[in-house]
Amino acid sequence: MGVYLGDGYITYANRGYIIGLTAKSEMFINEFNNALENIGLKARKDKAGKYHRVIGYSKLLHHFLENFDIKKINKINLKHLISLIKGFYESEGSNGVGRGLRFYNTNRELLEQIKIGLLRIKIDSHYFKSQYPLGKKPMHILYIPAFFKKEFMICINPKIKF
């Protein structure tokens, strides 16, 4: 769910209901592929130039993701919340050397829900709007101070720690 809310996508094509991810990191693609397979989907990986892609097919998951209300993020149990934050961090996160962590996204409401989720696991964060938009959309940033960085890495345990 967290990867989908970040870099993932859903679409419909002649072959069916698609859940996918395209990224430069093969490790990230493999992690998403494993997640799809762990819920019973047969996923297919391929590579085009410097990008890797994984797609799976599921009408049920497609409809779930399409209709998911981000305001419900903080109603899910703690184990699933941590998984969601992990996937979202691996999609939209950045680990500043010697500084705190950042999540970048154009959806302010989504970042506010992630902020509430982080508070549930006792990690403080601060929201601010970037002065550099992404095209015509404003870019929003959720910042986790360096003081909470180690705790975040232990609790969330992202595979991609950049």
Mean pLDDT of 104-114: 93
Mean pLDDT of 23-27: 90
Q: Please calculate the CA angle 83-36-43 and round it to the nearest 5 degrees.
A: 155
Q: Where are the domains of the chain?
A: 2-67, 73-156
Is the pLDDT score of 162 beyond 60? Answer: no
Amino acid at 116: I
Which residues, 6 or more positions from 123, have their beta carbon under 8 angstroms from its beta carbon? Answer: 144, 148, 151, 152, 155
Is the pLDDT score of 146 beyond 80? Answer: yes
Give me the helices (H) in 96-147, please: 108-120
- Amino acid 60: pLDDT: 94
Which CATH architecture fits 73-156?
Answer: Roll (3.10)
8 Å CB contact between 90 and 3: yes
For 115-129, the pLDDT digits (tens) are: 999 999 999 999 988
Question: C-alpha 30: how far from its chain's center?
Answer: 15
Residue 154 is encoded by which pair of tokens?
């232990």
Given 3.40.720.10, 1.10.3720.10, 3.40.50.300, 3.10.28.10, which CATH number is that of 2-67? 3.10.28.10
- 87 by Cβ neighbours in 10 Å (0-12 / 13-18 / 19+) ranks as buried
Which residues, 6 or more positions from 25, have their beta carbon under 8 angstroms from its beta carbon? Answer: 52, 160
Residue 66 is encoded by which pair of tokens?
């399409």
- Model pTM? 0.86
For 39-73, the pLDDT digits (tens) are: 999 899 999 899 999 999 999 999 999 999 988 88
Write down the mean pLDDT value for the chain: 90
Mean pLDDT of 70-84: 91
- Amino acid 15: pLDDT: 82
- Amino acid 97: pLDDT: 67
Sheet with 140-144: strands ordered across: 93-95, 101-105, 140-144, 126-129
159 — pLDDT class (breaks 50, 70, 90): confident
